[in-house]
Structure 1
Amino acid sequence: MNKPDVRPARPYFSSGPCAKPPGWSPDKLHLGGLGRSHRGAVNKARLAHCIAMMRDLLELPDSHRIGIVPGSDTGAFEMAMWTMLGARRVTAMGWESFGKDWVKDAIEQLKLDPIAVEADYGDLPHLDEVDWTTDVLFTWNGTTSGVRVPNGDWIPDDREGLSFADSTSAVFAHRLPWDKIDVATFSWQKVLGGEAAHGVLILGPRAVERLESYKPDRPLPKLFRLTKAGKLNEGIFTGATINTPSMLCVEDAIHSMEWANSIGGLDGMIERAKANAAAVDALVQARDWLHHLCPDPALRSRTGVCLTLDAEPARAKAMVKLIEDEEVAYDFGAYRDAPPGFRIWCGATVDSADIEKLGPWLDWAWAQTA
């Protein structure tokens, strides 16, 4: 089979860090604060501006605080776990690699003896059986499994425990029900196409109440401390970060949100993600050897779309290498802990036309590895 004569204009399909927004270039970033203190007036204002932009774009209510923290989404979620868990029993839910990490950490590191609720890749457990007298940890959109929770209806309004939602591949691709979420975390590197290393922590009023009423009996490193003298450190949520942030990453995130607003804000971001996921689904429907890892469309991710194929793992890896060597698609192999196959990022910064142009190359690689 001859090589296809079409190529994606932007071959970036990695699930993190993800494709930059269309038209991105370094000269579009505001760089006046580089080389200056993040505690100075100029950069404090830029940090506050970044937080305000996230609030507006996410349509986050005033009841919820939003702060920039170290360590990407992982750092933000660990911060929430270490500072708030232990006040009551915990249910830790895992249906993909990172969710399973939270289960493991709750057991092995925090010694909490949680109720562990797990499911295989491509599936969800029975959400209606979750015990909401406990604090519940879960992943809204499984970055490595292609599975998402369908909505927030399974989270009761009268829950006794807190809901901890790792939302890093869901925000900006879904309209999240903030009244159902007490703690949410994400990273700019996913749907915004921003840079890594910084996380975002969102706290609802019940989470703030927990922080101010409960002191865990474990030591907390400085990077995890969210309170001062028993009260929430409000500075973290107005731009006074715990440690020194990269202002270059902050400016990059601001640029991404400016782009998002230019395409219609949250609605525009959601529609682009839906269109991209539909483009991947069209690839699957046109090939009898290619399949979704998540068989249920109602539970299928619209960002990190995970695929399997009727072949040995070595063939899937060989196909990925062939296509990457042709510089047609980068970093689209399945996550290392997931079933072998492909993982095609469909967040808003990807163009559907580029996904469509990937199809003939999949056919070519399939033929080459037969």
Structure 2
Amino acid sequence: MTAYARGLLHEPPVKPERPQFSSGPTVKFPGWSLDKVKTASLGRSHRSADAKGRLKYAIDLSRELLGVPDDYLVGIMPGSDTGAIEAAMWTMLDPARPATVAAWESFGNVWIQDAVKQLKLPNLQILSADYGQIPDLTTIPQRNDVVFTWNGTTSGARIPNTDWLEKGREGVVLNDATSAIFAQEMDWPKLDATTYSWQKVMGGEAQHGMLILSPKAVERIESYDPAWPLPKLFRLKKGDKLNRAIFEGATINTPSLLATEDYIAALEWAKSIGGRKALIERADANARIVLDWIESTPWLRNMVSDPALRTNTGVCMVFQGDWYDNLPEDEKAAVPKKIVKLLEERNVGYDFNGYRDAPPSLRIWCGGTLEQEDIKRLLPWIEWAYATVKGAA
């Protein structure tokens, strides 16, 4: 137990150099600055050859770094990860077919509401679990279409494997991978539509999503015409065929070329340090620092009880112990907010409170754009802040 955990209320001697610990948008890659973002495409039409070339370059770099199979399509979508996953759901989920939506945190529960209230799928299996747990995915029939979130952005629980998905299964698999991809390996042969946003693991700017389609997904889109109205932002077909121009840099609506160049800069940085393997190693090492600290801190526990399900990106922790357990519920909810406020006021750490719908908690982002030293410097400050909040109670 450190001095801070024993309640000695002196501030730690050093602060993180970069105090951004948000789970999205996440911190920029080390060494980022505006002069690393190329600007030649700015002020140009996104339909111009040069601008389309930059959009296609972003697509190609994404494919290369992620190891996407050659026969899969990669495209840029509006509306961040939300727009990408909902476009996939609206254009691929056929009410005539059985479907499963599995959720164990806030965003997965939104996809459940989409399936129930918006698409009104009649033959729907809902699998849900509390924060920190994952439902029994082996109960999903292989003929069902499936929507799931690879990594629980707001709970810190991720799937341990894809053994519950059989190769050659009948249903299509829609994978919201936004807080996992670039930090965890994707099992591409078992995935039909995979989505993510630039603002998560790569520290890019918001509002742009990515949609990765397997040949099976393309076949579903081309063979199925939804009965419900499709907003323009969800329209992936041109006539009876997939609009493949979307996957060559011709976006559905106007993208931000500044955000595109920022994403390209992050991808080029990732490639320069060793690509996907290096990003995963960095996230694993960062998360290990936090996971070990939680285990050694008596007034904290990981929100995810099973170590096999613990993420290496947004690590979530809840409070425990006699002092905290005896607080009224409203005072329990205030503890993490007070800790974050104390550290934000001192420019030590920003935006590491738990998600608003999650249990009262802290959530520290550990993706590959974080530096180990900054995480190591943050943790004693959290101990100091906890002791300060407890001492003032």
TM-score (norm 1): 0.99
Moved more, 317-326 or 266-275: 317-326
1:115 maps to 125
Mapped contact 1:283–1:356 kept (Cα < 8 A)? no
Cα distance between partner residues in 2 of 1:131 and 1:166: 19
2:63 maps to 55
Q: Over alpha carbons, which structure has the higher Rg? A: 2
Residue of 110, 123, 130 corresponding to 1:101 = 110
Residue of 243, 246, 258 corresponding to 1:248 = 258
Cα distance between partner residues in 2 of 1:315 and 1:306: 15
Cα distance between partner residues in 2 of 1:209 and 1:136: 16
Residue 214 of structure 2 aligns with an amino acid whose one-letter code is G
Q: Does 1:182 align with 2:192?
A: yes
Cα distance between partner residues in 2 of 1:313 and 1:37: 48
Residue 103 of structure 1 aligns with an amino acid whose one-letter code is I
Q: Does 1:92 align with 2:101?
A: yes
Residue 222 of structure 1 aligns with an amino acid whose one-letter code is K
Cα distance between partner residues in 1 of 2:349 and 2:175: 31
Residue 354 of structure 1 aligns with an amino acid whose one-letter code is D
**1:32-79 Cα distance to aligned partner (Å, 9 max, x none):** 010001111110111111100000000101121000010000000010
Cα distance between partner residues in 2 of 1:29 and 1:340: 38
**1:319-340 Cα distance to aligned partner (Å, 9 max, x none):** 1111111111100000000111
Cα distance between partner residues in 2 of 1:316 and 1:269: 29
Cα distance between partner residues in 2 of 1:315 and 1:253: 36
Partner SS, residue 175 of structure 2: strand
Mapped contact 1:319–1:369 kept (Cα < 8 A)? yes
Residue of 28, 40, 43 corresponding to 2:48 = 40
Q: Does 1:282 align with 2:292?
A: yes
Name structure 2 gaps, 5 residues minimum: 1-8, 325-331
2:155 maps to 145
Cα distance between partner residues in 2 of 1:257 and 1:347: 14
1:30 maps to 38
1:191 maps to 201
Residue 364 of structure 1 aligns with an amino acid whose one-letter code is W
Give RMSD over aligned pairs: 0.8
Offset at 1:286?
2.4
1:314 maps to 334
2:141 maps to 131
Residue 167 of structure 1 aligns with an amino acid whose one-letter code is A
Name structure 1 gaps, 5 residues minimum: none
Residue of 346, 360, 366 corresponding to 1:346 = 366
Cα distance between partner residues in 1 of 2:346 and 2:211: 39
Cα distance between partner residues in 2 of 1:192 and 1:367: 34
How many residue pairs align between the two structures? 370
